Structure 1
Amino acid sequence: ARLAGTTSSRSANSRIKSMTPLGRGETAEAADYAAVYLDYVIDCYPPKSVTAYFLLRLVDKVSNDLMDPPPDDDVRAAAVHEFSAGQNSWGYYAFWKKDELESSGRIVDDVLTIRCDVGVVGRYATAKTDAAAAAASVASSVHVPPADLGHQLGALRSRAVGADVTFQVGAGSGARRFGAHRCVLAARSPVFEAELYGPMVERDAGRVIRIDDMDPQVFDALLDFMYTDALPGMRKRDAVAMSQQLLVAADRYDLKRLRLLCEHELCKHVNKGTVASMLALVEQQRPSCQGLKKACFEYLRKTPKVLREIMATEAFDHLVNELLSSNKLAIRE
């Protein structure tokens, strides 16, 4: 498809060429005016709409100066219009008074030159866009799978290929050993980075690193997260206890994302049976766990009976004082 006529423009690569001749008056009032129209010639199927910007100006054949039409509410030198199969012509039936054109000195040898600059706004079927569409179509035939780095690193940990550090976790007969990769742990945790690549690293190279004060199952889950960036699967009945211990481990090794994941999981399990232990955890891990603290406060605000039960527990006197001083609880009889 193209806008057709005689005057060319720099938008030729868009197949927009120009306008109709002058003198197409449509009403008696327009008899004294020259008319200018752009016609949209459709040569493609299905027909496509195109929004075009055009600028109409007289050209002085001697000086090549450009002249805008006289100011008018209905006629402007520049305009934007959407052309379609149903509306394939648009312009001005009263573009310029004929007597003004004749007296302007712009008609030379009975020829008046009008410059029409045309541009395309938005989508239009050009050779360039057709090529881009074809390239996109070819590209869409290639399926790019989602990133799988976490799964691949998790598999690396499971196979223990290239493991260069060993941890012994837990005490007594329940202790377990875990192999890991120093570079992975250091990249994930500044605490492990200091421990594994600090000043004593050469002297301690090859030694087994002991962690006596952590449950081996919790450390195993911690390593899983460090390799995969995801919480390991947990049995429903173990979710609260495991998330609480894993949150403490996350704080210990400065794993902020893991701590937030655990806190989010715990917020889903605030109830009469868990709120006391969660408040104790909040107190222990302060100033972190503000989200969990808020969830516990909100639960107690809505369940004053549970709050009174906690208040009767001597071990939670300091927590009750904090709750009351927070001014967030309204205890109703």
Structure 2
Amino acid sequence: MLQYILRRLILTVPVLFGILVVSFALTHLSGDPTDLILPPDATDAAREAFRKLHGLDQPIWVQFTQFALHAMQGDFGNSLRFNEPALKLVMDRMAATTELALAAMALTLLIGVPSGVWAAYRRNTLADITVRGTTLVGQAMPSFYLGILSIIVFAVWLRWLPTGGRGTWWHLVLPATTLSFQLIALIARVTRSCMLDVLGQDYIRTARAKGLGETTVVWLHALRNAFIPVLTVIGLQVGFLMGGVVVTETVFSWPGVGRLAIQAIYARDFPVVQAIVFLFALIFVVVNLIVDLLYAVLDPRISYR
């Protein structure tokens, strides 16, 4: 197990380096940030001093070399807008993003998995049709539209919840629900499909023949064996979750990394954008490693020796 973990960690090095290359190239292709950071009436001398201060006057290969060497040490440079370490700005916003992402994932697991199990157990009944119809709507509706619609209904018309910001747990309801809506639909569909395959297996019929209750058969035996594909989808959807955070935080004015990313992209704040992309990529790699390790917990036949 330890050797497998070490091997996976070693393989992440070229992946993360590739992320650095791509993020650096794409940000610098967007144009010169000097025109956006400095006021329109800034003199040519001020523009040149700004470019020299941040190394933008050097050849692109020199900029990348310096960026890569420092990034490997956790230093992404100073923000062009705030003149503070870019990684520090990102980490200061990370608590809010983590709170929102964990709340959305909790809703996904608490609603999506039981809905899929229930739909599979009640196949071709009204409950199954309702779940399938709801998941179809959930995957078809864009998150930004759902967010705006929920603000209009629950915040403006009904005045039940705040329109945005972060404070009490009431502020978390709308953004977490919006962020998790598509994930709930996907997980419910995958869970239903996997449960249908498992419920027809011989060992399920044997468990019922032994006199085990339906609750034990469905939730303990069937779900455990059907959950590995679901767990795989959950791990892969972390990337979607990180991308959804950007849209959701912008719609609800949530002070997290996603909203900071939008602001940094508009301002061409290269160091902040690169730090966010690298951090999201690192989270994605780590989460998928944890998912792989959980396979052995769910199925003892799986070994990483």
Q: How would you bin the TM-score normalised by the shorter chain?
A: under 0.3
TM-score for the superposition, normalised by structure 2? 0.18
Higher relative contact order (CA 8 A, sep 6+): 2
TM-score for the superposition, normalised by structure 1? 0.16
More helix by share: 2
Larger Rg computed on CA atoms? 1
